[in-house]
Structure 1
């Protein structure tokens, strides 16, 4: 679609919300460590039921209301590294100072102006991800900007807030959460809607990510950064797509949402030409399916009913595609699922799923459907089924009027699915348990600005002779602190060079991982000891791979004690020379024919004997010397 559509002409507006965990020692409102645990380590659990509360103005947030349509039980796994604050059984402590310092350094990088006094707010969230039913957040800075190839993008919002609990398992009527993640400090960065193309969205996200990593104080790895994307087109509506974890997916997300809104507007135009409408009666069609062979309906009829709604003029449109593989009927189904049903049926896709042609005919006759009319039905417990049909009617009416404002969930293929309505201002109210924090001009000016990763990469090329690719790889790598520590030790070492260190960390280690080696067992200390051994000359650099494979299997093993076991102990030079002389002597005719061209083929034989024990350059020089002697005799 990106090749066919002029996004400027379409009126695309896009903004990003970046949520990045901070690498502080303690959580935002307690002294617990920011450590992720294995759920098997949980030492107790408890459960809660959550309800939305009204704001100070007496209003209840619409998104919170929809989240409680299904009465779910929320189960929380706690640990010896979590406390009563996470359990919501004790008031929060003062806001963590280290986290605030990190957030202010990010504000400086984004040219933002901090508030003079920081106030913590409560943001209502009743999906179970917070034991309290709200998330604590504080607006820290605004008025910033980010330079991009398409011009400056405004950065309007920088908040410091607590991370939510991690969802472990959705069991339908109950959801299991882990409390280890709850309360980890994070920043939320919100841009202005200045992004004008999908590629521009990706560039902007990449630039913000680079700035964040430049601090050296943000967590790395899956789930530590999440991107929400706000998207609209001129005749559409603002939609927030949450949970984009991969940078490479942002461009597709924007493309697909623009495509969805264009297709929804086209469907609306076609429906209005047909004079389509929505019939608000919900029909009980259970008796029509008493003898059905549909497994889904037979299962539902044991405890529930089959309900249906009539959509005059919608025939052929419910099955229309709005995103690749997703149709208007999928949009109806997403809304229905908020009532707890598994999905819906509609006549654009029937007969199917065990439902016969005769049953479809009976259904259409019962509800009074004409040729251009569509029928949507659901089979479940009556309360759920009725709620589902009410949601379908609402969504069908919206299809005739506008593209609805929604919060949607990013899907792995770049599509999105409905989550809830966009929240309103009534979801926020003051947090009275946390004191405000003064941010003086002197305090903000004293915050240091870190060196950008882009500048650091240039410095690595200049100072250590790394090529541009390797310099960028290590500058953006999570092993950057290790590299800088190693270079402090080996900057003048002719054996352990910057190139050797970077190719080992960013090249060899990923290769080992692809080969099934558990590289997670290789620690920074293993790397340091390995390079010390190579620097001392006890092992050639070719032996690094064997050492790393060994420590990955036996992470507690002493590397020096393992060298003999690995066959990497130092070899006397006379032994090497004798072996090479023998190789050359046994291949006199080959050497006579090839001359110095014999070096390459014979080097393989020599390396097979001494790989990892002797530096390849040393072996190459000795081999050249012996071949030259043989040629001249």
Structure 2
């Protein structure tokens, strides 16, 4: 579409172990230790303060951290970072080479100021590994700006007004960030680019599996500044997010054009305490806020009558998102009042208190932070009036976006002094080249032919980053079709049903050990079900009931079922019901035919 620009920033978690310590990637058990921090912004190497950092400071929050079994003093910021994980670095180099990037001869880490609590240090360590690359697509070449290797953020557990709790289990996981140029034509093209880049990373064998392993950020512009949309959790959501954001900006531009025709400058929020006007109010929302110690504030919004919420116009939502980001529950405005239990009389009293403006808003806030909230709302209004929509937004699961924070800039960068320079020599480049992916269609055809599985299954194994695990298990067990079924069907089903966090190492170890014990498909499915319900691997492997019935046992069972008149088409489910033991269905069917079993209509 003309006038729009689209780029992607895709983040891939690696399974190599944490980036700056030797703690494992997997681990979720709490150790019982917690600690608290407040974070403050610092100036960049150019002596400037980042706008996003100032915004986070104005939110005045305290951060609580949960120490987990896969974190250490490095994650707690009580110990300097260790040497960069070598496999993670090799993976980043391999990805850079596959994307035709120039790999930097010297890797230098920088600090990005981040004081939203997601890192205990108040900054994120990141390094550019490759730059100035490209990827070929069906709609032409898309430039790759940079390939970075950085540490992932802590995982947010919960957020309440003024306090956020994070877990350290995710902090420090190696993260490859790949940024494209704004060469993407439309939402379908964006999905194609993301899929192609995902294949390159997954082929390395270092891609971590799990719900958070791949996170896409979309950069979108329609000529009103760049909007960074963070946290697009799945490929299909990229289309929905781009379409929604396009519609939001088109409608917002029309509303602001009307607003600018009415006034000479942006409305200025000046919060006035109107708590006394709502003593004894019937509005549960307002009454609960007052009882919890918040004050009620109101402000004029000159020139915005009918533009706050009317048809496609939603400027009120833009302001409400700023209030919600402070943790105070949003706002109410004159385009939608009376409502929420607020009476017409209360509306008129607020209007009179403000000097009878054409539009106004009501919100709640602690008295000691109302000034910061006022400043952020005025920043938002001035940006909107200037037709500058630049900001960072978050994607929701339904494809909408919401305000997250101002767009950060170069002012947040300053040198890292604890991580030494890393010099990249020919030996490391040659080693990384062995991890570079071949053309996808060639790999799929090769895997399908070699292992006798469908092209569709081979492509899914490649796309999901399971190829190397599949090849290892298939080669060790000699049963590639069973391994394909377990990895592509059984394990995802058990994971979804249980919502349990089970590591790939435990899953693959159970499959390999079970194969050595002669397990069949029924055995594996029962064992995996028990693993995802929390039973230990050793306990499962020691259970002799999972060992399949032998040929003589199956022959006797086949003879018994034949004598009862069981037909061939019902044989397998009936045998499972009667025996309660795992067995190989193909062997049972063969023996059933040998003992003169009863064929059913349509039986082969």
Give the TM-score normalised by the residue count of structure 1. 0.84
Question: CA shift at 1:186, angstroms?
Answer: 1.6
Query: Does structure 1 conserve the Cα–Cα contact (< 8 Å) formed by 2:15 and 2:206?
Result: yes
Question: CA shift at 1:485, angstroms?
Answer: 2.2
Alpha-carbon distance in structure 2 between the residues aligned to 1:473 and 1:531? 23
More displaced stretch, 478-487 vs 155-164? 478-487
Alpha-carbon distance in structure 2 between the residues aligned to 1:94 and 1:310? 56
Question: CA shift at 1:196, angstroms?
Answer: 1.5
Structure 1 counterpart SS, 2:125: strand
Question: CA shift at 1:148, angstroms?
Answer: 1.5
Query: Does structure 2 conserve the Cα–Cα contact (< 8 Å) formed by 1:301 and 1:380?
Result: no
Alpha-carbon distance in structure 2 between the residues aligned to 1:387 and 1:301? 19
Query: Does structure 2 conserve the Cα–Cα contact (< 8 Å) formed by 1:108 and 1:449?
Result: no
Work out which of the residue numbers 526, 532, 537 in structure 1 matches 2:510: 526
Does residue 501 of the first structure (1) align with residue 461 of the second (2)? Answer: no
Structure 2 counterpart SS, 1:271: helix
More displaced stretch, 156-165 vs 314-323? 314-323
More displaced stretch, 92-101 vs 107-116? 92-101
Does residue 391 of the first structure (1) align with residue 376 of the second (2)? Answer: yes
Query: Does structure 1 conserve the Cα–Cα contact (< 8 Å) formed by 2:90 and 2:428?
Result: no
Question: CA shift at 1:486, angstroms?
Answer: 3.0
Structure 2 counterpart SS, 1:402: coil
Does residue 134 of the first structure (1) align with residue 115 of the second (2)? Answer: no
Query: Does structure 1 conserve the Cα–Cα contact (< 8 Å) formed by 2:52 and 2:407?
Result: yes
Alpha-carbon distance in structure 2 between the residues aligned to 1:45 and 1:628? 67
* Cα distance change of structure 1 residues 321 and 620 upon mapping to structure 2, 3 Å threshold: farther
* Cα distance change of structure 1 residues 18 and 604 upon mapping to structure 2, 3 Å threshold: closer
Structure 2 counterpart SS, 1:626: coil
Alpha-carbon distance in structure 1 between the residues aligned to 2:493 and 2:172? 36
Structure 2 counterpart SS, 1:486: helix
Question: CA shift at 1:621, angstroms?
Answer: 6.5
Query: Does structure 2 conserve the Cα–Cα contact (< 8 Å) formed by 1:60 and 1:427?
Result: yes
Alpha-carbon distance in structure 2 between the residues aligned to 1:21 and 1:577? 50
Query: Does structure 2 conserve the Cα–Cα contact (< 8 Å) formed by 1:348 and 1:374?
Result: yes
* Cα distance change of structure 1 residues 489 and 394 upon mapping to structure 2, 3 Å threshold: closer
**1:112-167 residue CA offsets vs partner (Å, 9 max, x unmatched):** 10112221111111111222211111111101111212111100111111222222
Question: CA shift at 1:454, angstroms?
Answer: 4.8
Alpha-carbon distance in structure 2 between the residues aligned to 1:52 and 1:385? 20
Alpha-carbon distance in structure 2 between the residues aligned to 1:191 and 1:435? 28
* Cα distance change of structure 1 residues 485 and 261 upon mapping to structure 2, 3 Å threshold: same
Query: Does structure 1 conserve the Cα–Cα contact (< 8 Å) formed by 2:569 and 2:599?
Result: no
Question: CA shift at 1:384, angstroms?
Answer: 2.8
Partner of 1:78: 67
Alpha-carbon distance in structure 2 between the residues aligned to 1:565 and 1:96? 40
**1:551-605 residue CA offsets vs partner (Å, 9 max, x unmatched):** 6665446668644588835435763564366346xx9xxxxxxxxxx75467776
Partner of 2:451: 464
Partner of 1:238: 226
**1:67-123 residue CA offsets vs partner (Å, 9 max, x unmatched):** 100222222233565333323233333333332111101111111101122211111
More displaced stretch, 332-341 vs 561-570? 561-570
* RMSD of equivalent CA atoms: 3.3
Does residue 311 of the first structure (1) align with residue 301 of the second (2)? Answer: yes
* Cα distance change of structure 1 residues 518 and 435 upon mapping to structure 2, 3 Å threshold: closer
Partner of 2:334: 347
Structure 2 counterpart SS, 1:78: strand
**1:166-217 residue CA offsets vs partner (Å, 9 max, x unmatched):** 2222232222222332222222111100111011111111211111111001
Does residue 579 of the first structure (1) align with residue 569 of the second (2)? Answer: no
Structural mapping, 1:171-570, within 5 Å: 171-234=160-223, 236-275=224-263, 278-280=266-268, 281-301=270-290, 303-320=293-310, 327-369=314-356, 373-441=358-426, 443-450=428-435, 451-452=437-438, 454-477=441-464, 479-491=466-478, 496=479, 498-511=480-493, 520=502, 523-534=507-518, 544-546=524-526, 548-549=528-529, 554-556=535-537, 562-564=543-545, 568-570=549-551
More displaced stretch, 544-553 vs 293-302? 544-553
**1:505-558 residue CA offsets vs partner (Å, 9 max, x unmatched):** 322444555666979497323322443455xxxx76566545555666654466
Query: Does structure 1 conserve the Cα–Cα contact (< 8 Å) formed by 2:282 and 2:342?
Result: yes
How many residue pairs align between the two structures? Answer: 592
Does residue 619 of the first structure (1) align with residue 585 of the second (2)? Answer: no
Alpha-carbon distance in structure 2 between the residues aligned to 1:490 and 1:383? 66
* Cα distance change of structure 1 residues 269 and 481 upon mapping to structure 2, 3 Å threshold: same
Alpha-carbon distance in structure 1 between the residues aligned to 2:100 and 2:432? 13
Structure 2 counterpart SS, 1:395: helix
Query: Does structure 1 conserve the Cα–Cα contact (< 8 Å) formed by 2:88 and 2:174?
Result: yes
Return 5+ residue gaps in structure 1 as ranges. 1-7, 588-597
Alpha-carbon distance in structure 1 between the residues aligned to 2:400 and 2:274? 33
More displaced stretch, 621-630 vs 575-584? 621-630
Structure 2 counterpart SS, 1:361: helix
Question: CA shift at 1:500, angstroms?
Answer: 2.8
Alpha-carbon distance in structure 2 between the residues aligned to 1:147 and 1:121? 30
* Cα distance change of structure 1 residues 551 and 334 upon mapping to structure 2, 3 Å threshold: closer
Give the TM-score normalised by the residue count of structure 2. 0.88
Structure 2 counterpart SS, 1:330: helix
Alpha-carbon distance in structure 1 between the residues aligned to 2:425 and 2:19? 21
Work out which of the residue numbers 1, 5, 14 in structure 2 matches 1:22: 14
Partner of 1:595: none
Structure 2 counterpart SS, 1:158: strand
Query: Does structure 1 conserve the Cα–Cα contact (< 8 Å) formed by 2:36 and 2:62?
Result: yes
Query: Does structure 2 conserve the Cα–Cα contact (< 8 Å) formed by 1:294 and 1:354?
Result: yes
- Whose Rg is larger? 1
